Structure 1
């Protein structure tokens, strides 16, 4: 049996984390002492480790709660149900990665189009692109050749083919 501090130390988390999981219904002490201290069992330790592993691979608290409910009643669930949860999470992560890749490419194009010099920002290509209703960017860096300018503008135009949200 473990008190909250002992469990926290054993699993390398803060006691506030355990209280947070308790508040959200993911973890509850097996019992309490007469003075109100939380007491956790070895089963609670395994449950906490399950929660921490699920959190480490990106599951939300709601998703972890669903996984825990399956874990507690495995005989009434199919492996396909669990795989479905994982596949849904994977699709969500892939959509987020695609969105972040879009942001990265767009920001790279904006950055490459700007000279970044000490001149006034009155004609800054980044601000002009963000103010514009078109997707093309006029490069202000005089070190670029016309071919560079065209490839940057073309790449920015292509980057507006924004990935689907997958929701």
Structure 2
């Protein structure tokens, strides 16, 4: 078990997440935003990562404005400010908080630029590639001499960055389960 960040497929959206999708459509329409519906496709590889390391070092890198972008149950490839909170249970609470993948991308890209991601970090990860990299990575050597705490922060920056990129590039939702 554990906590995962994973791509939402069309089958998920039209099955177990149907109630969430309907509530999201109403909320997007109220904001005069386009409706969201993933295209039916059969991806041979999907984005999925297990959140194993501590998030402490990662959360410490964010300022108050950026920290808000971490509070979500799902991101979608529609650009909007703030969050959409729906009265539909998520995996971890009685509500579902949805944010823009575009805003998450902005926040995490600035962090990635600031700390520099090691060259070995997978660029288009699927099937737990970042999780595997993190578990097997030696401490990146560099001017800062990254230790385990810093490596954990790099892992989360990479996961959130790649999740936002995947959502936008593949027109899909990414959820925490």
Q: TM-score, normalised by structure 2?
A: 0.27
Higher strand share: 2
Q: Which has the higher contact order (CA 8 A, sep 6+)?
A: 2
- The structure number with the bigger radius of gyration is 1
Higher helix share: 1
Q: TM-score, normalised by structure 1?
A: 0.28
